[in-house]
């Protein structure tokens, strides 16, 4: 059972680089050029490995962006105070309007 969704692009890159270095170039995985390659062609496998590496990079950078956004949100307000006021609405302060007649 897999429990973590954290992705490390660098570890994927390190693993696929030696395999990709055996092939000089490859088409984009899923492209018509890729599709006509034999299933046992190392070029076809290299294209899929490279696609996986790119996907890992996308996930890794998205994870970092979400973490940065979370840190920014955390610093943006007095969340403890907001939680206290939300949980204790009777402590809310509403100033009275003073009308002069």
Structural domain total, the chain: 1
- Residue 6 tokens, joined: 């954290």
Tracing tokens 């105070």 back to the chain, one arrives at: 81
> What's the confidence (pLDDT) of residue 86?
82
Judged on CB neighbours under 10 Å (0-12, 13-18, 19+), 10 is exposed
The answer as to whether 95 is a domain residue is: no
CB atoms within 10 A of CB 29: 18
> What's the confidence (pLDDT) of residue 34?
97
The answer as to whether 60 is a domain residue is: yes
The answer as to whether 31 is a domain residue is: yes
* Enclosing domain of residue 66: 24-70
> What's the confidence (pLDDT) of residue 11?
96
Query: What are the helix (H) ranges across the chain?
Result: 9-20, 32-35, 42-75, 79-87
| Per-residue pLDDT at 94 exceeds 90 | no
| Per-residue pLDDT at 98 exceeds 60 | yes
Task: Please give the Cα distance from 66 to 58 (Å, whole number).
Answer: 12
Phi, psi of 3 (to 5 degrees): -115, -20
Per residue in 65-79, pLDDT (tens digit) is 999 999 999 999 999
The answer as to whether 14 is a domain residue is: no
Per residue in 14-53, pLDDT (tens digit) is 999 999 999 989 999 999 999 999 999 999 999 999 999 9
> What's the confidence (pLDDT) of residue 89?
74
Confidence of residue 91 (pLDDT cuts 50, 70, 90): low
The answer as to whether 18 is a domain residue is: no
Phi, psi of 18 (to 5 degrees): -60, -35
Q: Is the pTM value of this prediction over 0.75?
A: no
């Amino acid at each position: 059972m897999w429990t973590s969704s954290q992705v490390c692009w660098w570890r994927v890159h390190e693993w696929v680089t030696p395999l990709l270095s055996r092939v000089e170039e490859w088409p984009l995985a899923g492209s018509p050029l890729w599709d006509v390659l034999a299933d046992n062609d190392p070029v076809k496998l290299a294209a899929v490995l490279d696609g996986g590496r790119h996907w890992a990079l996308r996930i890794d950078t998205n994870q970092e962006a979400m973490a940065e956004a979370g840190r920014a949100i955390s610093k943006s307000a007095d969340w403890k105070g907001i939680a206290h006021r939300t949980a204790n609405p009777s402590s809310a302060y509403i100033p009275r309007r003073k009308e002069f007649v």
